[in-house]
Copies of this chain bind each other. A is one copy, B any other.
């Protein structure tokens, strides 16, 4: 051993393919490209290219107010569809709004206010055609539990109310800023697993005892939901169920005068549209910090739901949604909402699904819903006087049960144990700690997984797939055979500071293992170590030093390091650090197959071993 590096494989084998060093790019261009992929991956300026200044202005307005784009093309047939779906979601919005406001410990009328102004703002600024705007159970619950830590809603209702408006303002500002700063991807760090666990946890801590009375209504709601889930065509049955419950309950109370016999009812709801709440904001200590914290937590959770819902339905109908633009729309709707006595709104999944199923065409359905709610506010509030609280509780419980998605948790366990751990951590954190603790733990564990993927990358030994020049992971492809005298390794992650020490040790352990195996079987001595670099997406300076050391270490053992298929980033850096010359360009191959071919040629031509066995030689040209 040892003279393998004096003779070149190119001397004997005709090299057909060469690994290219990618053409050098000016630093500014690379940097611009990285910035673009990080912050503008959806290429929002694409449509502005090659347009006249006037057209650019129009497109700019249309960008922030998509209504300008679709309104001129709006047709009567669209309107027919939108009016049906708008009325359907209004019938859901009114009872749900009142119930969720109660869940947030806020006056019931706020639920109606919140279904009036925000949908109008969203209709102008939003780009989803299917999103139905309204309050959501989880954000209502969070508002109650977070604000409730410092201010009691019963003892100090006006301060509590003002804090809720302030939190909504901050949530809106935070959401819109994420959109403006193109930081929308922060929402992506709330994985699906996190949300599942988090919502179930939030629902679990909820005070269930307050709602066990409305059993028969609850039973009705759950039955209708189950039915509609199994037969999506009858979505309207579960959509109408809350209003039906409210109407039935109210009539029952009115006829039996049950309100005089201890059955709690909503009581008087103020007639009239949203009052202005711009003077109610709390911008002074000690409660402002709480309002900011509540705003950020509820804002990001609401945003995650709204964006996910918008994206899902846009996929169904095959149109494009700009996440950052949506954030601006949702944020603005909350900013305006907080000034007009609304609390946090987003695009709830349940309401949007009803909207979609009812055949909505554009955001006009939101306008129709807003008008229906406006009419209710102006003329119909007395009708809710006799609505029993138990019905609202039943609606809330039905929503809470919907938040505990145990089927999703089972699916996570089945497909990905780690995601299950994330989900359970979020759940446990919320139940035994607090809302923030649950969120932070789940996000931290999710990030740890990403870091661990890089810190402890998977490495494989590759084997030859019979009757081919293809080399694959021997664990996955159990029919592969090893090539005598050659160890082929694959590394499955970028080589960074976080894993360079690990990989150095791991590679040397693979070589130890292989040499032990060879010693026990008496095969050809190991002479070449081929590293398949296909999956190494990037490398940093620690990685480069590691490579240098691995090369020296391999050579000190009397072996030769051969590289297969390094990617563009890796080739660029090997070249810049001049390591490419140390390794030798002639030892870098385009495919593992070609590398093996060259090594075999060397093995058989220059160094015929005494104990070559032909049992596992692959079929190469």
Contacts and interface: CB of A to CB of B under 8 A. Distances in A.
B450 A41 contact: no
A191 B542 contact: yes
Given A42-B509, A193-B497, A451-B450, A568 B475 contact: yes
B189 A498 contact: yes
A455 interface: yes
A470 B17 contact: yes
Interface string A496-538: 1111111001101100000000000000000000000011011
B188 A315 contact: no
Contacts of A41: 456, 502, 505-506, 509
Contacts of A455: 185, 188
Interface stretch (A19-27, A128-136, A144-152, A382-390): A19-27
A502 B538 CA distance: 19
Contacts of A447: 451
A247 interface: no
B43 A509 contact: yes
Contacts of A509: 41-43
Residues of A in contact with B, size category: 35 or more
Given A188-B455, A455-B185, A470-B590, A540 B502 contact: no
Contacts of A468: 16-17
Interface string A582-598: 00000000110000000
Interface stretch (A115-123, A223-231, A357-365, A410-418): A410-418
A465 B590 contact: yes
A576 interface: yes
A192 B453 contact: no
A323 interface: yes
Q: How many copies does the complex hold?
A: 2
Given A41-B505, A185-B498, A416-B544, 20 more contacts: A16-B468, A20-B476, A20-B477, A20-B478, A22-B475, A27-B417, A41-B506, A43-B509, A191-B540, A194-B497, A320-B508, A419-B541, A453-B494, A453-B496, A454-B454, A457-B537, A473-B568, A476-B571, A492-B538, A535-B535
A497 to B, nearest CB: 3
Interface string A438-456: 0000000011011111111
Interface stretch (A61-69, A373-381, A545-553): A545-553
Given A16-B468, A415-B573, A416-B541, A22 B476 contact: yes
Contact of A537 (B185, B419, B458): B458
A192 B497 CA distance: 7
A416 B575 CA distance: 12
A472 interface: yes
B415 A541 contact: yes
Interface in A244-296: none
B538 A453 contact: yes
A615 interface: no
17 contacts: A16-B467, A17-B470, A22-B475, A41-B506, A185-B501, A188-B455, A188-B499, A188-B501, A191-B542, A194-B497, A415-B577, A419-B542, A453-B454, A470-B590, A470-B591, A492-B535, A534-B535
A411 B496 CA distance: 16
A500 B188 contact: yes
A73 interface: no
Contact of A454 (B450, B505, B506): B450
A207 interface: no
A199 B60 CA distance: 49
Nearest to A538: B453
A619 interface: no
